[in-house]
Chain A
């Protein structure tokens, strides 16, 4: 099988994630879309690692996973806090930054 298919899949996943971040209001869904984008990137890393025949991409994907894990912890905590104070997980409701 042609190895570039993995890259197409990665690009498709990344696009789905990006579109999801932009169009969805629910913070949890946005969050999952972000995870999707990260994993799309991981897939690309691994594919390139395979293509180039070295382990650099593999290593980078591990780093990404670690960062993603940290991000999940903090991000979920923020979402829960916001939900507690506002009774809503909509990202549009939390539009106070402009003031």
Chain B
């Protein structure tokens, strides 16, 4: 096995295992989860092997490609199914397979009481395969296959407990919202083909400097739409909260660590498009800034622990998207934040799962309280993730989030102040809602009823949490010491060649400012939630009501998109049934009426036929006679 041929195994193994588990039925119930976990671990080992192989090569030789087969060959349109493993892909491969394997291990225990556990693991492996295809494809079309694959896996897993109609609806909602984004991606592929005649990343990169600004802006806007759909960014973010209907490991893997960050990958991968189009970049930072505040505000009002974390995910991905809009240096920081976020958010989701596991699937944080004593390991690992997301030094978030805030502030002029202000405000709100989660869940008085018996989860569950917690502590330092990740990604995103703006604030000042705001957020939350009523207060300010209702995004979607859409469909159905079907039926029934009348002529009496014949001949002869006269 050499490094080049092993790439396909990354995708083939989990895909194959998924097929085995889905096709073999109940026979594989006993060992299905073990196979899936082993396969996931194998892909991680291959990923690590590839990483060290890549690391040992000089930086120009690092990307590897593997052509699988000629996929489409129509006239001037040539697409090969081929894989590209470069410095950017390998980061994702390690994140997906690493976090994925931990979550496989966790799920063995978490799903042990579910008699469909094998199917769950089959979907997880399907997801791993699709996500790896997404990050390993060497063209937009190959990426698109993986993109749809993760959408499918996400749909299947959100609706895993589809016996509950609400969960099935949540899955559908996620699917439909993603579809809107997918339209963006397919349009982007079409634009790329018409402009550059190719859809490979390399081809588009080569053509981008010669393309018209309008085409690049359109391409960037469509890519951004795709990213917004997949990464739950404004205005397509409404599905993520409902996606928490899926089992918690799914929320950790797909809706926190990997799939929802695919949008960040897409934009980073297409850096040559965005670098060449300032308009597209402005759109990206706008979407990122709006979403990071949007998500943070929603997070402050959610009582469902998973929905609070989902809102936080939305907000953190907003940070990443914002960073990708900040030019070459931003990409590296976006990826840095993506990786650290993968650790701490997955860890916190698993922690939430552990709490739910011990509390009989109760998700309302108002019914938790004082769980630190009952679940010490969960409390510690969760808190480490909490410190990481807050950006407290030396935890991971400090290295990634502060860099984004710093880069945003230094973007220059009013833009820098606006974006920097948004990121700082976001950091403060993040501190508030995350402290709220911690306070409501782990500290304070017990608010659960006597039926619940909170207990620590078994080792298969807390071990992945512990490993992710270590990642939340150390990954930021490791990845950014000596600008390791920035240098690593430099050939992909051109990070070395960024122009230096006048620094608005010194890094130390930015960090202090951010930490100060975080402290304000923390203290506000601690002060506000000294006592927590078990039932959510109903008399609240309009802001709280708005935040509880996801800032009316659903209401907006329903009023502006859903209801007119339904009216349109009703109208079309009416037109179809009444006008089109009516015409067809009218033709049929009028023919029937005419033939009923005509049938009377056919009375079966030979003599009347003869009479008609005689009269007809007479008429004919008379006519001829008259005409020739």
Contacts and interface: CB of A to CB of B under 8 A. Distances in A.
Contact of B614 (A22, A25, A96): A22
A89 B120 CA distance: 85
Given A18-B614, A22-B611, A22-B614, A94 B606 contact: yes
A2 to B, nearest CB: 22
B605 A91 contact: yes
Contacts of B599: 98
Interface in B565-608: 599, 602-607
B610 interface: yes
A17 to B, nearest CB: 10
A22 B605 contact: no
A91 B602 contact: no
Nearest to B602: A98
A18 B614 CA distance: 8
A92 B607 contact: yes
Given A18-B614, A22-B614, A91 B603 contact: no
B151 to A, nearest CB: 63
Contacts of A98: 599, 602-604
A80 to B, nearest CB: 17
A95 B605 contact: yes
A1 interface: no
A91 B606 contact: yes
Given A18-B614, A22-B614, A97 B604 contact: yes
Interface residues of A, number: 14
Contacts of A91: 605-607
B622 to A, nearest CB: 14
Nearest to B615: A22
A10 to B, nearest CB: 15
B314 to A, nearest CB: 76
B610 A92 contact: no
A41 interface: no
Contacts of B603: 95, 98
B611 A95 contact: no
A96 B604 contact: yes
Contact of B605 (A18, A23, A92, A99): A92
A21 interface: yes
A22 B604 contact: no
Nearest to B606: A91
A99 B599 CA distance: 11
Contacts of A30: 606-607
B608 to A, nearest CB: 8
Interface in A72-99: 91-92, 94-99
A60 B607 CA distance: 28
Nearest to A99: B604
Interface residues of B, number: 10
A68 B78 CA distance: 79
Nearest to A18: B614
Contacts of A21: 607, 610, 614
B221 to A, nearest CB: 72
Interface in A13-45: 18, 21-23, 25, 30
A24 to B, nearest CB: 8
Contacts of B604: 95-99
Contacts of B606: 30, 91-92, 94-95, 97
Nearest to A21: B610
B607 A22 contact: yes
B168 to A, nearest CB: 57
A92 B608 CA distance: 10
Nearest to A97: B604
Interface string B447-461: 000000000000000
A92 B602 CA distance: 13
A22 to B, nearest CB: 5
A88 to B, nearest CB: 14
A91 B611 CA distance: 14
Nearest to A96: B604
Contact of B610 (A22, A25, A97): A22
A23 B611 CA distance: 9
A99 to B, nearest CB: 7
A15 to B, nearest CB: 10
A97 B604 CA distance: 5
A49 to B, nearest CB: 21
Contacts of B607: 21-23, 25, 30, 91-92
Residue of B599, B603, B605, B611 with most partner-chain A CB within 10 A = B605
A5 B604 CA distance: 38
B253 to A, nearest CB: 74
A75 to B, nearest CB: 12
B516 to A, nearest CB: 100
A19 to B, nearest CB: 9
B616 to A, nearest CB: 12
Contacts of A92: 605-607
Contacts of A23: 607
Interface string B299-330: 00000000000000000000000000000000
Contacts of B611: 22
Interface of B: 599, 602-607, 610-611, 614
11 contacts: A18-B610, A21-B607, A21-B614, A22-B611, A30-B606, A91-B606, A95-B604, A95-B606, A97-B604, A98-B602, A99-B604
Given A22-B611, A96-B604, 8 more contacts: A18-B614, A21-B610, A21-B614, A91-B607, A92-B605, A92-B606, A95-B606, A97-B606
The 10 closest A-B pairs by CB, nearest first: A98-B604, A95-B604, A97-B604, A91-B606, A22-B611, A21-B610, A98-B602, A95-B605, A18-B614, A22-B607
